[in-house]
């Protein structure tokens, strides 16, 4: 794959062009995009809901199921990048900053093998 194809910024631009060419920008306010994102996360969840947890990776090695999972993950990604774009957020920079922050908050030697609990 070319560097271009792997770039978050290039993908964001392509999604923006896709919306613009169809005059769909009018529908892309943040709340509507989050609902669309929720819809795609729901479709992703449905693919895995009844699969045994410890067999999910194995079952999704099947090419047809892997293809379907890839499509749903892509749909989530596309709406997520569209949302960031509409809000003027540089998602690559934001994700880098978030990961750096998580590295500080969860020191490897302190949390090793322990899942952080949400209360």
Question: What tokens were used for 3?
Answer: 């560097």
With both helix axes pointing from N to C terminus, report the angle between 63-86 and 8-21 in degrees, rounded to the nearest 10.
80
* Listed residue (18, 21, 23) closest to 79, CA to CA: 18
CB of 61 to its own copies, least distance (A): 7
Question: Alpha-carbon distance 106 to 92, whole Å?
Answer: 21
CB of 3 to its own copies, least distance (A): 6
CB of 46 to its own copies, least distance (A): 4
Question: Alpha-carbon distance 47 to 30, whole Å?
Answer: 26
Whether the CB-CB separation of 102 and 33 falls below 8 Å is answered with: no
């Amino acid at each position: 794959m070319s560097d271009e194809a792997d770039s978050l910024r290039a993908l964001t631009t392509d999604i923006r062009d896709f919306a613009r060419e169809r005059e769909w920008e009018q529908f892309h306010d943040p709340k509507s995009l989050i609902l669309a994102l929720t819809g795609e996360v729901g479709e992703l969840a449905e693919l895995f809901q009844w699969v045994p947890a410890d067999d999910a990776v194995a079952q999704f090695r099947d090419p047809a199921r892997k293809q379907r999972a890839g499509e749903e993950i892509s749909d989530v990604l596309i709406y997520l990048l569209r949302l960031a774009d509409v809000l003027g957020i540089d998602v690559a920079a934001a994700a880098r900053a978030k990961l750096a922050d998580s590295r500080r908050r969860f020191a490897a030697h302190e949390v090793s093998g322990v899942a952080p609990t949400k209360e």
